[in-house]
Every structure is written in structure tokens, then in C-alpha cells.
Amino acid sequence: MPDNGGMARPDRVRALTESLLRWLLLPILLGLLLVAVSGSFAEHPARHLSGLAMAGLGWLLAVALARSTGGEEAANPALGWILLGSLALHLVAWGGNAQLSDDVQRYIWEGHLVLEGESPWAAAPDAPERAAQREARPELFRRVNHPSVSAAYPHLTQAANALVVAAAGATTEVLGGNEQRRGPAAMGLFYGLWSLAISWPLSRLLRRRGLSPRLLVVWAWCPLVPLEFADSAHLDSLGIFLLLAALDLFEGARSTSGEPQDESGPPGESVGVLLLAAGILVKFLPLCLLPALLRGRRAGQRMALLLLGLLALALPFLLLSGGLQGWTTGLGQYALKWESPNLLYRVVEGALTPFNSLAPGTPAEALGRILAGLILLALAVGAWRLRVEPLETGAALLAGYLLLSPTLHPWYLTWIIPFLAFLPAARARPWLWLIFCAPLLYWPLTEYQAGRGWLEPSWLWPVIVLPFAGLWWAGRRRQLLAPLLP
């Protein structure tokens, strides 16, 4: 019954929640604005980290507030505000220049190669075969990271980067300006737009699961998202979009009982498989859905369609000079040799260091990667045998990869962010903490850009990982101790 103010208590609570959620955009926006006007992270790390801490706290509060609401409001007035806020955050980040990564220079270099009909995998930037390209673009070559390593990114990424480079070049010819600045800006715009687009399949998945549309803030207002895509122009946003779009179609193609709706398979599922193929050729992480595809009577059909999609997107690259020669070389060097700040891999490899005294070289490094791979394989087989739903399968395997990967750059963590909207609050908390702390992983950047190497301070790992482990235990202790309790 309405009170004396004329508004029922649930309506007052809803209105208050709406108002608080709107106001929480302010600290996120101000924090990112501080980052955007502070220039390079290496020059002003304290300003950047302060701004990102402010934005991160605002985001955590917004997520907590969104979790306090139900999913019964299909037409939620907060949804438009959330999307508008996401757009504002991306525009602010796009106008900044934090210089957290130089990967965008490699994107541009490889995009030029594809436009010239050259395979980016066939030779490294500093190889003799690339002398003509180095002479044509000496400034760009000097900015390319790891010039002795050939391309590691797969086919659709190369096509997308070539498209952006062509568009940036055409715009420069028409409008003039500095091509060296226009290229990174165009990449940031392109991958920032895909980051914004992720809100579409994510909002559909939330609706299918009967969850509050306000949970879209988990992705849309996360400060790490515009920082990594609109500012640093990382390619992952395109892969995440394709992964979530495929998941949305897989969810829609199933009945309430969880079984396929008909023998031939709904068209949406087939389109989802093709989108998944496209996502794999952006970055290989969408392979996390493979156990779900291998389930059921139509597993063979799905795999055949997936293979067909992969071939259709990859085979045109045979027309390039060098074709597909060496397309796994750069990826192999990255996967087998590189190591950066990570979560659990250092523990795995550290436990295997006694093997270094038994054989030449560093067998612990190879054994650590093999063991991590076997753990992920066991997780995938378990998801397949238990018939875990595609969304939960993807979340579990992505989480396992992030925990066990020898290399954990901050933008890798963006792959898990959309899935946090579907986890119970207790299980999401350790990952929310990890996302909040992700900017700290850039701490060694100042020394690195000064030429003194990537020196990780001794405090960094325990500050991030120990609270993560504590939150994980707090969320799982009842489940783990259940067999021991009366």
C-alpha cells in the first residue's frame, strides 16, 4: 500500500537505486579523465593509478548496486544511462594517450604488409626479406615491438588491421594530418567500437538468464575496458564480441529443458558456430567453447561447420606472397618462451625447478607449460563429460587459462569480465578484485621504457594474489568443506 508520500516502498527503493547508480558514473568518469589528461603512464604513474583507483572503486560500487536488484524489469530505464555512460567512458579514453602498450604499432605494420600483398607470418620485421618495408616506413619500424618475431595474430585480426590501416590512409589523404598519429587513433576507434558493441550480446544474455539488465555495468562501466580498447587499441574486443554473440545464439537455440529444439538444429546455432570460427581467428581463446560444441548428437555437424568457417576465413590468405608459411612461428615463440607477471604459473614452474639440475637447459619451463596445458585439458574434458552449458564452460576455461598462463597482460583479463555478470556474488568477488588491481601490473612500465628491463617489485604479486586467494576461499569454503560437516 502506498505511504503518505504517495509512493510504495518498493518504488522508493527502485528510484533510490536508480539515482545512486547514475551518480556512481561520476567517479568512474572523473578517474578516467584524470588518466586521459595525464599523458604517458611512465611519466606520471601516480596520477594514472590514482585515477584508475577512483574509477575502479566507483565501478565496484556500481556492480554491487546492480546485484542488489532483481531481473524482473525487462524495460529498465537504467539501461539507456548505462549505455550512455559507456560511450562517454570510451570517448574520454580515446582522447587519452597513456602509452601502456605499443602493440598497436605492430598492428599497423602488419596491416600495411597485408595491403601490399605480403604475408605477415612469413618473415619478422627485421628479416632481410622486409628491407623494402623498413625503408618505406622507417619510423614505424622503429616503434614495432619484438622486431625479430613474426606475426602471432591469426587471420581475421590481420584482415581487420589491414582494413583500419587502409581507412586511416585514405582519411589522411583527404583530410591531411600526421599519419603516425592517425593510425593509432583509427585503431583505438575501431576496437573501441567493438568494445561498445559487446553490450548488445551481453544484455541479451542477461535477459535470457532472467538477470537484472543493470548488471551490464560489469562490462560497460569497467574502467579497464575503455583503457585497453579505446586508448591502447587492443584487438581482444573484437574476439570477445564474437564469443558473446555466439554464446547468445547458442542460448537462444536451446529449449527450456536445455536440449536442442530439433534434429537438424536451429539456424541460430549454425550462425553461432560460424561466429565462433571468426572469433577463433581473431584470437584463439574462443576455443574455450569447444567442449560444449562436442556435446550431443549434432557434435559432428557443429565441428564440420566450425572447420568450414575456419577454412573459409583463412584460405584467402594463400593469395598473399608467402601464403600461410610460418603462421605458427610467432605464436610458438610467444607461447613457449615468453613470460610476464602471472598468477599461478610461477608456482607451477617453481615447483618443477629441481628438474633443471637433472637435464640441460631449463626443463622446468617446458614442463610447467605442459602441466598447465594438461590441467586445462582436464578441465575441458570435465566440462564435456558433465554436460556443462556453453556459457559456464567458457567461463571456467577462461578462468583456468588466466590463472595458469605464463603471461598475464592486463588486457587479457577483459575476457573474463562479461562472465562475472552471471556468477554468484561470492564467486565473482575474487575476479572483481583482480580486475580492480589490474592497473598495478603496469607498475614496471616506467623502468622498462627507460631501458632498464621489466623489473617486477617483490610486493606486487602478494598484494594482488593473496587477497584474490582469500576471496576465492571465502566464496568456496562451504562447498569444499561440505563433505566434512555434519
Instruction: Give the integer Cα–Cα distance in Å for 19 and 78.
Output: 9
Tens digits of per-residue pLDDT, 148-203?
Answer: 999 999 999 999 999 999 999 988 776 766 667 789 999 999 999 999 999 999 99
- Residue 185 contacts by C-beta under 8 Å, 6 or more apart in sequence? 94, 168
Q: Could you give the count of Cα atoms lying within 13 Å of 113 in the half-sphere of its Cβ? A: 32
Instruction: Give the integer Cα–Cα distance in Å for 195 and 84.
Output: 14
Q: Could you give the count of Cα atoms lying within 13 Å of 212 in the half-sphere of its Cβ? A: 22
pLDDT at 17: 76
Query: pTM (2 decimals)?
Result: 0.93
Tens digits of per-residue pLDDT, 226-267?
Answer: 999 999 999 999 999 999 999 999 999 874 434 444 444 578
Residues facing 321 on adjacent strands: 118
CB 249 within 8 Å of CB 255: no
- Mean pLDDT rounded to a whole number for the chain: 90
- Residue 173 contacts by C-beta under 8 Å, 6 or more apart in sequence? none
Question: Phi then psi for 151, rounded to 5 degrees?
Answer: -60, 140
Task: Please determine, for residue 360, whether its predicted confidence score (pLDDT) is greater than 70.
Answer: no
Instruction: For 309-329, give one letter per residue: b (16+ CB within 10 A) or e.
Output: bbeebbeebeebebeeebbeb
pLDDT at 256: 40
pLDDT at 16: 78
pLDDT at 451: 81
Closest CA to 92 of 165, 184, 28: 28
Give CA angle at 327 (324, 332), nearest 5°: 160
The grid cell for 217 is 555495468
Task: Please determine, for residue 221, whether its predicted confidence score (pLDDT) is greater than 80.
Answer: yes
pLDDT at 264: 46
pLDDT band at 452 (very low <50, low <70, confident <90, very high): confident
Instruction: Give the integer Cα–Cα distance in Å for 34 and 22.
Output: 20
pLDDT at 157: 98
pLDDT at 483: 53
Task: Please determine, for residue 384, whether its predicted confidence score (pLDDT) is greater than 80.
Answer: yes
pLDDT band at 77 (very low <50, low <70, confident <90, very high): low
pLDDT at 454: 85
pLDDT at 6: 55
pLDDT band at 74 (very low <50, low <70, confident <90, very high): very low
Tens digits of per-residue pLDDT, 93-139?
Answer: 999 999 999 999 999 999 999 999 999 999 999 999 999 999 999 99
Closest CA to 294 of 385, 375, 379, 401: 385
Tens digits of per-residue pLDDT, 332-347?
Answer: 888 888 888 899 999 9
